[in-house]
Chains A and B, each alone.
Chain A
């Protein structure tokens, strides 16, 4: 395997370089004055300490760097200077008679002293008992992702980040250690500067769209100081009620003491279509088309027969000026530009600090007219009011606009498909005849085909509208009072206000909109959230004992409301969304309001003895409005233990092992993410018509009360260890976990004789287990050249272990509206199981008595002869199957088969394949996934490369159904139809024309729609150059860095769609679905960062 060999090779290299740098030399003693600058990659380091180490390893004197990172001290020429700073690797530099020694500090690879945010408090990495991944701003800043999810992807073990439909501004599905629930949310909890929001992507579509956006889409990832991913229960239980799917804590940047920085960043990028889908080209389409409609000189009026033929029956010459040729994928895409600007300012003194930034990005999508713009601003102020009292405010606002047309549509038929399906299916060659059920524009070009089912993609781009605006803000104020040394009280109030508006217009000229003379939709939604937190924190050391105590009272309320309007009938050209009163029909508005509240008491105790043994207990008691009376409260305890073996005497002086820590934890977390009011009975509006057309509004019972509805709980065991070798140059982290979710908030099927199809009950259980490994190495670290690597890989297994009274239930994915069930949740199987009919190729000549004893050529001859005799196309001639050959429910008559029809697997061996023979035909859960980052720096040059992969997962490519449908002559097809069965081309699995139509078992997914989604992606390469300092300091500039980067440079995959990183829609039970997904871009960027 590729990844393994990379690691081996890296280890070898590492040993060589390790041996290379452990040499030193002795120089004659002589006292000198030494000056210099201590810096890190972003600029000077203030307060770094420098100690002078004498010949006997005794510390002689020392100093710290000033505001410019400069220092002065005296030492003997033979002494060694020890440079240290928290979070950075300590460096020892021999004076060797020099008087100027500049040092660039490297981050401490072992990160033991690194401070990690753990929820309501912080801890040093070495004291963690749980599994937490921490990403710092410099890792994000280097890559400059547009969204925070892109920055997180492939960088944290156990965290799977999958794109939804993939367009500009589209959301992601994030799974931390697998999905822990079925019907309640599987999305992690996001905590932004203390404010908790559910990480569920927001549905942003109006009309027929089905795209989602991240709840953090309005956030500029470059304002993030750190992202911590809390995975195990001892870390997440402190967020008890909502920690079951993991917690992602996002901390925004704050000012640093004693230094004022002004930074300007900009980049420009160009994106291009990374790969095209293989479609029949114009000639191949014409060939297929004419095979479908055989020449009949007696019927030249038939629009099908004559569409692509001259009057003699010859295939039309594509150079004929009357034939219009179009490559629709080329036609709808473009090289897309993105520009990004950001200005930020940070600074601080002894008593205050500030950080502010403003950024603007304008991103074009590679499909024409699609775009994403974002403006963000944030400001953070912290002030020491008195020695004991501290206060701060933090405001973060973002405004985004999206524009374009619908790509992922919730339905793929009846004129309601997205732009991609339209461009795939719209014929690449417009023929010579006019179709009766097509519409034409004034130039004679086809506007829409098949009664508006598919429309001209250019006209969709030109006349349809799908746009949105949203505003999101987070604000937070706090007061902190130090009651006694190490004992603080902090009171915080946080608010979140968001608002969004979506608008869509479907043109009155064609397709779906035409039937109602234009359709306009508007959706306004807004929400607010308030949290208050009262936090007591106590930290104290007594000799060898260290304590940390946290006690919190917290309350959260939130609400969401929306109003949706729709209008039809637009008579004024070009006037629609911005003048809804011009509509002749205004449909009833729909509105909705929900709210929720949560009250919590929580506490945590951290205790450390001799820096060797750490224990960590937490408990949280949560009351949620979402559950039934008397069932609202849940208790979520956790315990974690760590043994820092490296501090034991027997390892203390070990030169190889610099860190060895064993960890174990257990805890219970909950899930409330089911929406409000689910325990209550409800009635729904139910209207009907009297007297022909009078609408009367009524009410009908809609949901049964569940007076027992309560918490879904997940208990998790985690064991792991951290290992550091060679002074932190190799650090390795491994975890094994088992997560059991019980009392699932399950939408269980009820006997429908009850009058209800489903009810939310606490029933059933689910299990996730897996391994995670992360390895970071400093392969080479020389003065001018360094090379570091980070590698992570995750293995998660997911299994449904109990579904209460049911064994399984089915889910219908969006897309083609003929397929009724295509996913299944079944006991013993993982979530994300694709369900349908297994295809085992096509019927061959051998399956028929009529062809017995004939060669393939003779058999082909016979078919053509029979067709001629019967006056029908060759693909309509039927024969009898041999006795005992399996038949399909679509054609139960064994005497009406033909070779080339699809052949299905008769799972129950009853001789006929029907819906009883459906089985699991794929699973979207990868066997493993991960990422590998390599960072190089040489002098002022830096280079980084990120690979990511997923292995062993299937994708349900539902596009295939329509795009290979050989019953519909109008539509273009996927390239695989090239290899269709014909009397001559028999060595194939692709059915003959009308094969699926005649023998298919309608309403089902076939295994031919399931594809291997494994991929290896070169996600990002960034090459940067930082100007030497000397040139700049005179101009008053601290740093200037230029960089060039490429995103999504190459993907190795067998997947036939646009990209295997796909999961369209917001139904978490249909992951790995590709319907109409947005084509993926390859992006090249150049950028500039200037620091003053």
Chain B
């Protein structure tokens, strides 16, 4: 009050906010570093997987919406255009995903740089390196999403600390992949061998390395020598003994098994009402009231996908809803054929089965699987097949373990039998679709196997007015356009060809 009358101290115009911290004040000890690392996990929490209410996320849009598992209704907004391959550089969802991935990248970069710069007086060096390794794993998930989706992206290796010189140029996909491998190799070395409960571990880094190497064998790099590198890493995951399959497929997606031994890396979500929720049971979910366990009708099942299942594959029952949630509990829907009354045109995708009743509209508690052990097994088989050395024994300990688990009666779903390399590849990608559908990897898989265009052809089902995504499809649409808004303010960016 005294300052009101006189021009007393020079601090009168200083700002000392108490509503937020600065990284400098936080990163002085291990506790602060822990806190800052959690910020990096939060950065990828919503954007990499299926997203959350109001957040357009990468995997759900790139991996599922733009592939052949679901069809989109007319009220789907920008998502419909993604599904229809009617993308232009002004598409808002594409813009949001680009922007959100780079915002997340900077946050993770900040964690890598700032924790990495801490000294031995501030923090135990081994702990520091483990934290940096976790952050580098998270950084790889972002860079992998970016390079998969846009191919030609700026490779940003450090936190942005100044408003100057923000007009970065693109790097080649080779450089981006090399950086991802460098990060994951660092992470693999510094992390523990364990199921991380949502944290990055050695197994997660190795599994992602395997996935990245495999992706490098396909479009656009086509480096077939990477099959061997993938095999090596995936074998290490399998040999670690940390991970295993659960005995029942539906249980994998239960709330009780969110961080089970099958989850090599699964992104933590919780809800409702904690600002930590996802939307796995509502974006995908049966007809009926959301609070009875229904979904929002955001997307519907592709009839061709449904038809590709063996009738007695438990994954058909688990992954496709033919009931109305108002009338049946999830358990009844899984077991009682009378529950499957809904017309073909309104079959819905369904993998995470919300209770009846429940209280989570767009705020669902289901963790978002990123790499499951089932995926590791399938990738391992793929890596072997890519090198032409897949054996029936390998198939039996990978693909056929999954089929054994999925079989509802002994006569159903025959085991996979070794065929030609091409036949094996076809069987493997179909198995991936049946096993991993809605987990966001379908488009990457199709591109890697060179089957993308084939897969999105001929989806002309009427319900509800799905439309045929192939109508105007051209090869360049394999990649997404770089958002116009971005090119406009950064003259150094070059639009992907065709757009």
B residues 202-238 near A (Cβ < 8 Å) are none
Known contacts A594-B19, A997-B74: A754-B3 contact under CB 8 Å:
no
Q: B275 near A914 (CB under 8 angstroms)?
A: no
How many Å lie between the Cα of A692 and that of B415 in the bound state? 34
Stretch at the interface among B245-253, B356-364, B434-442, B445-453: B356-364
Residues A681-723 near B (CB distance < 8 A): 681-684, 686-693, 695-702, 704, 706
Q: Which residue of A lies closest to B86 (CB)?
A: A889
CB 8 Å contact bits of B272-304 with A (1 = contact, 0 = none): 111110000000000111110010100000000
Whether the pair B160, A755 counts as a contact (CB closer than 8 A) is: yes
Closest B-chain residue to A632, C-beta based? B13
Please give, as numbers and ranges, the residues of chain B lying within 8 Å of A385 by CB-CB distance: none
Q: Are A757 and B103 in contact (CB under 8 A)?
A: yes
CB-CB contacts of B474-494 with A at 8 A, as 1s and 0s? 000000000001101110010
Q: Tell me how far the C-beta of B379 lies from the nearest C-beta in chain A, rounded to whole angstroms.
A: 25
Residues in A whose Cβ lies below 8 Å from that of B276:
687-689, 695
What are the residues of chain A within 8 A of B99 when measuring CB–CB? Answer: 752, 757
B105 beta carbon closer than 8 Å to chain A: yes
Residue A25 interfacial (CB < 8 Å): no
Q: Is A1090 an interface residue (CB 8 A)?
A: no
The reply to whether B106 and A754 form a contact with Cβ atoms under 8 Å apart is: yes
In the bound complex, what is the Cα–Cα distance between A723 and B240 (angstroms)?
94
Among the listed stretches B172-180, B330-338, B400-408, B464-472, which one makes contact with chain A, having 4 or more residues with CB under 8 Å of it?
B464-472
Say yes or no: A676 contacts B22, CB within 8 Å. no
Q: In the complex where A692-B259, A693-B270, A753-B102 touch, is A807 in contact with B288 (Cβ < 8 A)?
A: no
Does A251 sit at the interface, judged by CB under 8 A? no
How far does the alpha carbon of A702 sit from the alpha carbon of B161 in the complex, in Å? 11
Q: What is the CA–CA distance of A757 and B78 in the complex, to the nearest angstrom?
A: 20
Which residues of B lie under 8 Å from residue A938 when comparing CB positions? none
| In contact, B163 and A892 (Cβ under 8 angstroms) | no
Contacts of B367 in A (CB 8 A): 689, 692
Most buried by A among B14, B35, B109, B167: B35
Q: Mark A809-827, 1 if CB is under 8 A from B, else 0.
A: 1000000001011000000
Is residue A998 contacting chain B, with contact meaning CB distance below 8 A?
A: yes
Min CB gap A908→B, angstroms? 10
Q: Kindly list chain A residues whose C-beta atoms are within 8 Å of the C-beta of B275.
A: 687
- Cross-chain contact of B168 among A553, A688, A751 (Cβ < 8 A): A751
The chain B residue with its CB closest to the CB of A628 is: B15
Q: Report if A892-B471 is in contact (Cβ < 8 Å); known contacts: A687-B275, A998-B74.
A: yes
In the complex, the chain B residue whose C-beta lies closest to that of A532 is: B4
Q: Are A697 and B35 in contact (CB under 8 A)?
A: yes
Among B37-45, B58-66, B116-124, B421-429, the stretch in contact with A: B37-45
Q: Select which of B3, B36, B324 is within 8 A of A436 by beta carbon.
A: B324
- Given that A676-B17, A689-B198, A690-B198 are known contacts, is A751 also in contact with B166, CB under 8 Å in the complex? yes
Do the beta carbons of B38 and A698 come within 8 Å of each other?
yes
Chain B CB within 8 A of A587 CB: yes
**Which of A517, A679, A688, A916 has most B Cβ within 10 Å?**
A688
Contact of A698 among B36, B166, B269, B294 (CB under 8 A): B36
B365 touches A1002 (CB 8 A): no
> Chain A contacts of B273 at CB under 8 A?
516, 566, 568, 585, 587
Known: A437-B288, A699-B36, A998-B465. A915 touches B20 (CB 8 A): no
CA of A676 to CA of B197, assembled, Å: 39
- Rounded to whole angstroms, the CA-CA distance of A950 and B255 in the bound complex is 58
- Cα A840 to Cα B367 in complex, Å, equals 47
Check B3 against A555 for contact (C-beta < 8 Å): yes
Within 8 A of A (CB), among B85-109: 86, 88, 90-92, 98-99, 102-103, 105-107, 109
Whether the pair A530, B38 counts as a contact (CB closer than 8 A) is no
Contact A698 B35 (CB under 8 A): yes
Closest A residue to B4 by beta carbon equals A532
A593 within 8 A of B: yes
Which chain B residues lie closer than 8 Å to A283 at the CB level?
none
Q: Is the CB of B78 within 8 A of A1003?
A: yes
Q: Which residues of chain A are near B106, meaning CB under 8 Å?
A: 701, 754-756
Residues of A within 8 A of B472 (CB): 892
When the two chains form their complex, are residues A555 and B12 in contact, meaning their CB atoms are under 8 A apart? yes
B interface footprint on A966-1009 (CB within 8 Å = 1, 0 otherwise): 01000000000000000000000000000001101011000000
Q: Is the CB of B92 within 8 A of A761?
A: no
In the bound complex, CA of A915 to CA of B481 (Å)? 14
Q: In the complex the two chains form, what is the Cα distance from A437 to B39 in whole Å?
A: 39
Q: Is the CB of B88 within 8 A of A699?
A: no
Query: Chain A: which residue is nearest B485 at the CB level?
Result: A749
Instruction: Report A193 CB to chain B, min CB distance, Å.
Output: 17
Task: Indicate whether A599 reaches chain B with its CB closer than 8 angstroms.
Answer: yes
Residue from B111, B163, B197, B291 in contact with A690 in the complex, judged by beta carbons closer than 8 Å = B197
Task: List chain A residues, Cβ under 8 A from B77.
Answer: 818, 820, 1002-1003
| Residues of chain B lying within 8 A (CB to CB) of residue A695 | 270, 274, 276
Contact A700 B107 (CB under 8 A): yes
Contact A1002 B74 (CB under 8 A): yes
The answer to whether B98 touches A1002, judged by C-beta atoms less than 8 angstroms apart, is: no
In the bound complex, residues from chain A placing their C-beta under 8 Å from that of B42 are 686-688, 698, 700
Using CB atoms, name the residue of chain A closest to B366.
A692
Contact A750 B88 (CB under 8 A): no
State in angstroms the CA–CA spacing of A821 and B105 once bound together: 25
A414 interface residue, CB < 8 Å from B? yes
B26 at the interface (CB under 8 A from A): yes
Whether a CB of chain A sits under 8 angstroms from the CB of B242 is no
Q: Do A699 and B270 touch across chains, with their CB atoms under 8 A apart?
A: no
Q: Which residues of A contact B90 (CB under 8 A)?
A: 914-916, 918
Identify which of residues 423-446 in chain A touch chain B, using a CB-to-CB cut-off of 8 Å.
Answer: 436-437, 439
Interface residues of A in 804-852 (CB under 8 A from B): 805-807, 809, 818, 820-821
CA distance A887 to B88 in the complex (A): 15
Cβ-neighbour of B15 out of A676, A750, A756, A915 (below 8 A): A676
Given A686-B43, A1003-B77; A704-B468 close (CB under 8 Å): no
B7 interface residue, CB < 8 Å from A?
yes
In the assembled complex, the Cα of A1088 lies from the Cα of B50 at a distance in Å of: 65
Nearest CB on B from A425, distance (A): 15
B21 within 8 A of A: yes
Q: Judge whether B194 is part of the interface by a CB distance below 8 angstroms.
A: no
Contacts of B91 in A (CB 8 A): 915
Cβ-defined contact, A693 with B365, below 8 A: yes
Assess the B270–A806 pair: CB atoms within 8 A. no
Q: Which of B75, B88, B258, B287 contacts A916 (CB 8 A)?
A: B88
Task: Judge whether B326 and A755 touch: CB under 8 Å.
Answer: no
Residues of A within 8 A of B418 (CB): none
Q: How distant is the Cα of A751 from the Cα of B294 in the complex, in angstroms?
A: 40
State in angstroms the CA–CA spacing of A809 and B90 once bound together: 12
Min Cβ gap A271→B in Å is 37
Residues in chain A near residue B43, CB distance under 8 A: 686, 700
Complex Cα–Cα for A964 and B296 (A): 21
Judge whether B21 and A699 touch: CB under 8 Å. Answer: yes
Query: A696's closest neighbor in chain B, by CB?
Result: B38
Chain B residue numbers with a CB within 8 Å of A553 are 7
Question: Which residues of chain A from 619 to 665 have any CB-CB distance to chain B below 8 Å in the complex?
Answer: 623-626, 632
Binding site for B on A (CB under 8 A): 414-415, 436-437, 439, 451-452, 493, 514-517, 530-532, 534, 553, 555, 557, 566, 568-569, 585, 587-588, 592-594, 597, 599, 623-626, 632, 676-677, 679-684, 686-693, 695-702, 704, 706, 749-757, 759, 761, 805-807, 809, 818, 820-821, 889-893, 896, 914-916, 918, 967, 997-998, 1000, 1002-1003
Instruction: Name the 9 nearest CB pairs between A and B, nearest first.
Output: A755-B106, A698-B38, A700-B39, A689-B268, A686-B42, A692-B258, A532-B4, A698-B39, A752-B99
Known: A436-B326, A587-B273, A625-B14. 12 other contacts (CB 8 A): A597-B12, A684-B20, A691-B259, A692-B270, A695-B276, A698-B39, A699-B35, A749-B485, A751-B489, A755-B103, A889-B81, A1003-B77
**Subset of 17 A-B contacts with CB under 8 Å:** A452-B291, A531-B4, A532-B4, A534-B5, A555-B3, A587-B274, A593-B18, A688-B38, A688-B45, A690-B197, A700-B39, A701-B23, A807-B488, A820-B78, A891-B467, A916-B90, A998-B74
